[in-house]
Structure 1
Amino acid sequence: MKTSLNEDWKKDRIAAANRGENPMVIGKMKSGFAVIGDTQFLPGYCVLLPYVQVGTLNDLDFKQRSEYLLDMSLIGDVIQEVCNPRKINYSIYGNTDAFLHAHIFPRYEWESEERKLKPVWLYSPNHWTDSKYQYTVEKHLDLKEKLAENLFQIMKDAY
Protein backbone atom coordinates (compact mmCIF):
# COMPACT_ATOMS: atom_id res chain seq x y z
CA MET A 1 0.00 0.00 0.00
CA LYS A 2 1.31 3.41 -0.93
CA THR A 3 1.62 5.94 1.85
CA SER A 4 2.13 9.63 1.55
CA LEU A 5 4.34 11.75 3.78
CA ASN A 6 1.61 14.36 3.89
CA GLU A 7 -1.96 13.75 4.93
CA ASP A 8 -3.74 14.65 1.69
CA TRP A 9 -5.41 11.23 1.80
CA LYS A 10 -7.55 12.50 4.70
CA LYS A 11 -9.33 14.94 2.37
CA ASP A 12 -11.12 11.99 0.72
CA ARG A 13 -10.51 8.81 2.66
CA ILE A 14 -12.64 6.65 0.37
CA ALA A 15 -10.95 7.78 -2.85
CA ALA A 16 -7.54 7.41 -1.16
CA ALA A 17 -8.44 3.86 -0.10
CA ASN A 18 -9.52 3.03 -3.66
CA ARG A 19 -6.17 4.38 -4.94
CA GLY A 20 -4.23 2.39 -2.32
CA GLU A 21 -3.10 5.59 -0.60
CA ASN A 22 -5.04 5.43 2.68
CA PRO A 23 -2.51 4.06 5.20
CA MET A 24 -5.26 3.19 7.70
CA VAL A 25 -6.76 0.41 5.54
CA ILE A 26 -6.76 -2.95 7.27
CA GLY A 27 -8.39 -4.81 4.41
CA LYS A 28 -10.87 -4.83 1.55
CA MET A 29 -14.22 -6.38 2.34
CA LYS A 30 -17.28 -7.15 0.25
CA SER A 31 -18.84 -3.71 0.86
CA GLY A 32 -15.84 -1.49 1.47
CA PHE A 33 -12.65 -0.94 3.41
CA ALA A 34 -12.02 -1.83 7.04
CA VAL A 35 -9.75 0.89 8.45
CA ILE A 36 -8.18 1.37 11.84
CA GLY A 37 -9.34 4.52 13.61
CA ASP A 38 -7.23 7.66 13.71
CA THR A 39 -7.49 7.62 17.49
CA GLN A 40 -6.81 4.54 19.58
CA PHE A 41 -7.76 5.53 23.13
CA LEU A 42 -10.01 2.48 22.88
CA PRO A 43 -7.56 0.03 21.26
CA GLY A 44 -8.96 -1.63 18.17
CA TYR A 45 -11.37 1.15 17.17
CA CYS A 46 -12.15 0.73 13.47
CA VAL A 47 -14.28 2.29 10.74
CA LEU A 48 -15.95 0.74 7.71
CA LEU A 49 -15.78 2.92 4.59
CA PRO A 50 -17.87 1.96 1.54
CA TYR A 51 -16.17 1.66 -1.86
CA VAL A 52 -18.30 4.46 -3.28
CA GLN A 53 -19.16 7.60 -1.36
CA VAL A 54 -22.88 7.79 -0.59
CA GLY A 55 -24.76 9.95 1.88
CA THR A 56 -26.43 7.30 4.00
CA LEU A 57 -27.02 3.59 4.40
CA ASN A 58 -30.40 4.14 2.75
CA ASP A 59 -28.67 5.20 -0.47
CA LEU A 60 -27.52 1.60 -0.93
CA ASP A 61 -29.77 -1.04 -2.46
CA PHE A 62 -30.96 -3.90 -0.24
CA LYS A 63 -28.12 -6.25 -1.19
CA GLN A 64 -25.49 -3.55 -0.61
CA ARG A 65 -27.02 -2.67 2.76
CA SER A 66 -26.95 -6.30 3.83
CA GLU A 67 -23.32 -6.65 2.79
CA TYR A 68 -22.38 -3.41 4.55
CA LEU A 69 -24.05 -4.35 7.82
CA LEU A 70 -22.56 -7.86 7.69
CA ASP A 71 -19.10 -6.41 7.09
CA MET A 72 -19.59 -4.01 9.99
CA SER A 73 -20.39 -6.94 12.27
CA LEU A 74 -17.43 -8.96 10.96
CA ILE A 75 -15.11 -6.11 11.93
CA GLY A 76 -16.68 -6.30 15.39
CA ASP A 77 -15.94 -10.04 15.49
CA VAL A 78 -12.31 -9.34 14.59
CA ILE A 79 -11.95 -6.65 17.26
CA GLN A 80 -13.50 -9.04 19.78
CA GLU A 81 -11.01 -11.75 18.87
CA VAL A 82 -7.91 -9.54 18.84
CA CYS A 83 -8.63 -7.07 21.65
CA ASN A 84 -11.00 -8.98 23.95
CA PRO A 85 -13.22 -6.02 24.93
CA ARG A 86 -16.28 -6.50 27.14
CA LYS A 87 -18.53 -5.43 24.25
CA ILE A 88 -18.61 -3.77 20.84
CA ASN A 89 -20.54 -0.58 20.02
CA TYR A 90 -21.61 0.13 16.43
CA SER A 91 -22.64 3.54 15.15
CA ILE A 92 -23.49 5.24 11.86
CA TYR A 93 -24.06 8.99 12.00
CA GLY A 94 -22.76 11.14 9.15
CA ASN A 95 -23.33 14.43 10.95
CA THR A 96 -19.76 15.70 10.86
CA ASP A 97 -18.51 13.76 7.83
CA ALA A 98 -21.59 13.70 5.60
CA PHE A 99 -20.96 10.36 3.95
CA LEU A 100 -21.69 6.79 4.98
CA HIS A 101 -19.15 5.31 7.36
CA ALA A 102 -19.63 3.04 10.35
CA HIS A 103 -17.74 3.30 13.64
CA ILE A 104 -16.94 0.06 15.46
CA PHE A 105 -15.82 0.76 19.02
CA PRO A 106 -14.55 -1.79 21.53
CA ARG A 107 -15.56 -1.04 25.12
CA TYR A 108 -13.41 -2.27 27.98
CA GLU A 109 -13.70 -3.31 31.62
CA TRP A 110 -10.88 -0.90 32.48
CA GLU A 111 -12.96 2.12 31.43
CA SER A 112 -14.28 4.10 34.37
CA GLU A 113 -17.77 3.18 35.57
CA GLU A 114 -18.98 6.61 34.44
CA ARG A 115 -17.61 6.01 30.92
CA LYS A 116 -19.05 2.50 30.62
CA LEU A 117 -22.58 3.86 30.83
CA LYS A 118 -22.17 6.61 28.23
CA PRO A 119 -21.59 6.78 24.49
CA VAL A 120 -17.97 6.95 23.41
CA TRP A 121 -18.63 10.39 21.90
CA LEU A 122 -18.81 11.82 25.41
CA TYR A 123 -15.12 11.19 26.06
CA SER A 124 -13.30 14.51 26.44
CA PRO A 125 -12.22 16.25 23.23
CA ASN A 126 -8.55 15.54 23.92
CA HIS A 127 -9.21 11.81 23.46
CA TRP A 128 -10.00 12.57 19.82
CA THR A 129 -7.12 14.99 19.18
CA ASP A 130 -4.26 14.46 21.66
CA SER A 131 -1.21 12.96 19.96
CA LYS A 132 -0.83 10.37 22.72
CA TYR A 133 -4.05 8.72 21.52
CA GLN A 134 -3.45 9.04 17.78
CA TYR A 135 -2.60 6.05 15.63
CA THR A 136 1.09 5.75 14.88
CA VAL A 137 2.96 2.99 13.12
CA GLU A 138 5.37 2.77 16.05
CA LYS A 139 2.63 2.20 18.64
CA HIS A 140 -0.13 0.49 16.65
CA LEU A 141 1.25 -1.37 13.62
CA ASP A 142 1.25 -4.70 15.49
CA LEU A 143 -2.42 -4.22 16.40
CA LYS A 144 -3.30 -3.24 12.82
CA GLU A 145 -1.52 -6.32 11.47
CA LYS A 146 -3.31 -8.63 13.91
CA LEU A 147 -6.65 -7.09 12.95
CA ALA A 148 -5.81 -7.56 9.26
CA GLU A 149 -4.77 -11.18 9.76
CA ASN A 150 -7.96 -12.00 11.65
CA LEU A 151 -10.09 -10.08 9.16
CA PHE A 152 -8.68 -12.09 6.28
CA GLN A 153 -9.50 -15.33 8.12
CA ILE A 154 -13.02 -14.36 9.10
CA MET A 155 -13.82 -13.25 5.55
CA LYS A 156 -12.75 -16.66 4.26
CA ASP A 157 -15.25 -18.22 6.66
CA ALA A 158 -18.06 -15.69 6.11
CA TYR A 159 -18.18 -15.29 2.35
Structure 2
Amino acid sequence: MSEYDDGNNDSGGSGGSIIGTIISILILAAIWPYLMAIVGLYIAYLAAIAILEWMAQNPLSVVFILLGIFCIYAIFHYRLIPKTWRWMIALLKPKAVEVHLSQYAVNSELPDLASRKFIPSTNLYCYWCTKKLGIQAWEKNGKYYCDECKARQLTNA
Protein backbone atom coordinates (compact mmCIF):
# COMPACT_ATOMS: atom_id res chain seq x y z
CA MET A 1 0.00 0.00 0.00
CA SER A 2 1.13 3.42 -0.69
CA GLU A 3 1.43 6.13 1.87
CA TYR A 4 -1.40 8.10 0.25
CA ASP A 5 -3.85 5.27 0.48
CA ASP A 6 -6.32 5.68 3.37
CA GLY A 7 -7.78 2.32 3.02
CA ASN A 8 -10.82 3.70 1.18
CA ASN A 9 -11.58 1.95 -2.01
CA ASP A 10 -12.94 5.03 -3.82
CA SER A 11 -12.39 4.33 -7.47
CA GLY A 12 -14.51 7.32 -8.61
CA GLY A 13 -11.90 9.86 -7.79
CA SER A 14 -13.24 13.08 -6.25
CA GLY A 15 -16.88 12.51 -7.31
CA GLY A 16 -17.97 11.32 -3.87
CA SER A 17 -16.97 14.55 -2.20
CA ILE A 18 -18.97 16.65 -4.72
CA ILE A 19 -22.17 14.70 -4.03
CA GLY A 20 -21.57 15.03 -0.28
CA THR A 21 -21.06 18.77 -0.65
CA ILE A 22 -24.29 19.16 -2.69
CA ILE A 23 -26.24 17.17 -0.12
CA SER A 24 -24.76 19.27 2.69
CA ILE A 25 -25.74 22.48 0.88
CA LEU A 26 -29.30 21.19 0.32
CA ILE A 27 -29.64 20.25 3.98
CA LEU A 28 -28.30 23.63 5.01
CA ALA A 29 -30.75 25.38 2.64
CA ALA A 30 -33.62 23.37 4.11
CA ILE A 31 -32.80 24.19 7.74
CA TRP A 32 -31.50 27.74 7.16
CA PRO A 33 -34.82 29.51 8.12
CA TYR A 34 -34.97 27.49 11.33
CA LEU A 35 -31.36 28.35 12.18
CA MET A 36 -32.10 32.04 11.57
CA ALA A 37 -35.20 31.82 13.77
CA ILE A 38 -33.16 30.28 16.57
CA VAL A 39 -30.48 32.95 16.25
CA GLY A 40 -33.19 35.67 16.25
CA LEU A 41 -34.81 34.24 19.36
CA TYR A 42 -31.43 34.12 21.08
CA ILE A 43 -30.75 37.78 20.20
CA ALA A 44 -34.22 38.76 21.45
CA TYR A 45 -33.58 36.84 24.66
CA LEU A 46 -30.27 38.68 25.19
CA ALA A 47 -31.97 42.04 24.50
CA ALA A 48 -34.78 41.26 26.96
CA ILE A 49 -32.26 40.27 29.63
CA ALA A 50 -30.32 43.52 29.06
CA ILE A 51 -33.53 45.59 29.26
CA LEU A 52 -34.65 43.87 32.46
CA GLU A 53 -31.21 44.37 33.98
CA TRP A 54 -31.31 48.09 33.12
CA MET A 55 -34.82 48.34 34.60
CA ALA A 56 -33.60 46.74 37.82
CA GLN A 57 -30.77 49.25 38.06
CA ASN A 58 -32.94 52.33 37.24
CA PRO A 59 -36.42 51.89 38.79
CA LEU A 60 -37.11 55.64 39.05
CA SER A 61 -36.44 56.15 35.34
CA VAL A 62 -38.73 53.24 34.52
CA VAL A 63 -41.54 54.80 36.58
CA PHE A 64 -41.11 58.16 34.81
CA ILE A 65 -41.08 56.52 31.38
CA LEU A 66 -44.24 54.52 32.16
CA LEU A 67 -46.00 57.66 33.48
CA GLY A 68 -45.01 59.53 30.33
CA ILE A 69 -46.38 56.77 28.11
CA PHE A 70 -49.61 56.71 30.13
CA CYS A 71 -49.97 60.51 29.87
CA ILE A 72 -49.49 60.46 26.10
CA TYR A 73 -52.06 57.66 25.82
CA ALA A 74 -54.56 59.59 27.95
CA ILE A 75 -54.08 62.81 25.93
CA PHE A 76 -54.92 61.12 22.65
CA HIS A 77 -57.49 58.59 23.93
CA TYR A 78 -59.59 61.15 25.82
CA ARG A 79 -58.99 63.96 23.26
CA LEU A 80 -57.69 66.31 25.92
CA ILE A 81 -56.09 68.81 23.52
CA PRO A 82 -59.37 69.84 21.79
CA LYS A 83 -61.17 69.90 25.14
CA THR A 84 -58.52 72.20 26.57
CA TRP A 85 -58.77 74.56 23.58
CA ARG A 86 -62.58 74.68 23.90
CA TRP A 87 -62.25 75.46 27.62
CA MET A 88 -59.71 78.23 26.99
CA ILE A 89 -61.82 79.78 24.23
CA ALA A 90 -64.87 79.67 26.50
CA LEU A 91 -62.90 81.58 29.12
CA LEU A 92 -61.82 84.21 26.60
CA LYS A 93 -65.27 84.75 25.07
CA PRO A 94 -67.06 87.85 26.30
CA LYS A 95 -69.81 87.08 28.77
CA ALA A 96 -73.39 88.22 28.26
CA VAL A 97 -74.39 91.10 30.48
CA GLU A 98 -77.78 90.91 32.15
CA VAL A 99 -79.80 94.09 32.11
CA HIS A 100 -82.71 94.37 34.50
CA LEU A 101 -85.31 96.78 33.23
CA SER A 102 -87.43 98.29 35.91
CA GLN A 103 -90.95 99.55 35.25
CA TYR A 104 -89.78 103.17 35.28
CA ALA A 105 -87.03 102.69 32.68
CA VAL A 106 -89.03 100.87 29.98
CA ASN A 107 -89.13 102.80 26.71
CA SER A 108 -92.41 103.41 25.03
CA GLU A 109 -90.83 102.29 21.74
CA LEU A 110 -90.61 98.68 22.90
CA PRO A 111 -93.69 96.61 22.08
CA ASP A 112 -95.68 95.30 24.97
CA LEU A 113 -94.48 91.70 24.95
CA ALA A 114 -96.73 90.68 27.83
CA SER A 115 -99.86 91.36 25.77
CA ARG A 116 -98.54 89.43 22.78
CA LYS A 117 -99.97 85.92 22.53
CA PHE A 118 -97.51 83.05 22.78
CA ILE A 119 -97.26 81.17 19.47
CA PRO A 120 -96.26 77.58 20.18
CA SER A 121 -94.91 76.60 16.76
CA THR A 122 -92.30 78.14 14.50
CA ASN A 123 -93.80 76.43 11.45
CA LEU A 124 -96.45 79.13 11.08
CA TYR A 125 -96.70 81.43 8.08
CA CYS A 126 -98.21 84.90 7.70
CA TYR A 127 -101.84 84.87 6.57
CA TRP A 128 -101.29 87.62 3.94
CA CYS A 129 -97.72 87.44 2.65
CA THR A 130 -96.95 83.76 3.54
CA LYS A 131 -93.64 84.75 5.15
CA LYS A 132 -92.44 82.28 7.76
CA LEU A 133 -93.17 83.59 11.22
CA GLY A 134 -90.68 83.64 14.05
CA ILE A 135 -90.71 85.72 17.18
CA GLN A 136 -92.24 88.71 15.36
CA ALA A 137 -95.68 87.14 14.94
CA TRP A 138 -99.10 88.59 15.80
CA GLU A 139 -102.39 86.77 16.13
CA LYS A 140 -105.81 88.19 15.31
CA ASN A 141 -109.01 86.16 15.03
CA GLY A 142 -107.07 82.88 14.85
CA LYS A 143 -104.92 84.13 11.94
CA TYR A 144 -101.23 84.90 12.32
CA TYR A 145 -99.52 87.96 10.78
CA CYS A 146 -95.96 89.22 10.52
CA ASP A 147 -94.96 92.72 11.77
CA GLU A 148 -95.24 94.37 8.33
CA CYS A 149 -98.71 92.99 7.64
CA LYS A 150 -99.80 93.97 11.16
CA ALA A 151 -98.59 97.52 10.53
CA ARG A 152 -100.44 97.63 7.17
CA GLN A 153 -103.53 96.36 8.91
CA LEU A 154 -103.30 99.15 11.49
CA THR A 155 -102.78 101.85 8.83
CA ASN A 156 -105.69 100.57 6.70
CA ALA A 157 -108.08 100.46 9.65
How high is the TM-score relative to the length of structure 1? 0.19
Whose strand fraction is larger, Structure 1's or Structure 2's? 1
Whose helix fraction is larger, Structure 1's or Structure 2's? 2
